[in-house]
A and B are shown apart, each in its own frame.
Chain A
């Protein structure tokens, strides 16, 4: 379901490939991102530009991949719309994830801190 692109600075851009990241597809999302991390990706931007809704299962999957990458690399998120931002705030995920306005801002920041 996910779409991946390798950018400069060895950064992997992941887009969930679904408008809603919920219990119906969260496991698939987590499994596919985990495969990418296991394959060597250690600088990952997950872009939610095209995601309109995220439930607790989607959030749990996101936490799961953050834990998977752990101290081996960086995982940040970008492009949260206002609804997804609200979910992040309610669940205090804005304190867990580094969030950028868009992919460009995320990539620029990651490149600076390489």
Chain B
């Protein structure tokens, strides 16, 4: 997708349709919220600021979850949301901003971030129905050289 807010909505709607047979109900909503916030954060804050930069997204189904990998535009500085998040309970209820990173983390079951093939990748996993009774504290899978 191109790095525009309009493309965020288009991408998320495509994603929602693609995972609709796997994630349903609250799980689907959590996925939609988390990915929307992640993509919006990249579009608004990541360099380069030009709309012709590309954000790439890969969706994979594994036995226990749907994994959405989001690749920053080439050249963007690393930004691990886990290092900058203000958790939702700490956000002033009357604040008009500051919830995005908290929502990414709150709504995804597993969050990983790190360099992959020269680009920064945010990986968000959403457990399928019946799998999220107790959310894992460790990643579903770990790749070498990646933060988790």
Contacts and interface: CB of A to CB of B under 8 A. Distances in A.
Nearest to B97: A60
B100 A24 contact: no
B97 A95 contact: no
* B contact face: mostly helix, strand, loop, or mixed: helix
B5 A24 contact: yes
B93 A22 contact: no
A61 B96 contact: yes
Nearest to B10: A24
A24 B8 contact: yes
B99 A91 contact: yes
Contacts of B103: 56, 90-91
A24 B95 contact: no
Interface in B24-78: 26, 29-30, 32-33, 36-37, 40, 43-44
Interface string B74-114: 00000000000000110101111101100100110000000
B33 A90 contact: yes
B146 interface: no
A60 B96 contact: yes
B8 A59 contact: no
Interface residues of A, number: 25
A87 B37 CA distance: 12
B99 A60 contact: yes
A57 B40 contact: yes
Interface in A57-110: 57, 59-61, 63-64, 66-67, 82-83, 86-87, 90-93, 95-96
Interface of B: 5-6, 8-9, 26, 29-30, 32-33, 36-37, 40, 43-44, 88-89, 91, 93-97, 99-100, 103, 106-107
Interface of A: 20, 22-24, 53, 55-57, 59-61, 63-64, 66-67, 82-83, 86-87, 90-93, 95-96
24 contacts: A22-B40, A23-B44, A53-B32, A53-B36, A55-B36, A55-B40, A56-B40, A56-B103, A57-B40, A57-B100, A59-B99, A60-B95, A60-B96, A63-B93, A64-B96, A67-B94, A90-B33, A90-B107, A91-B91, A91-B103, A92-B93, A93-B93, A96-B93, A96-B94
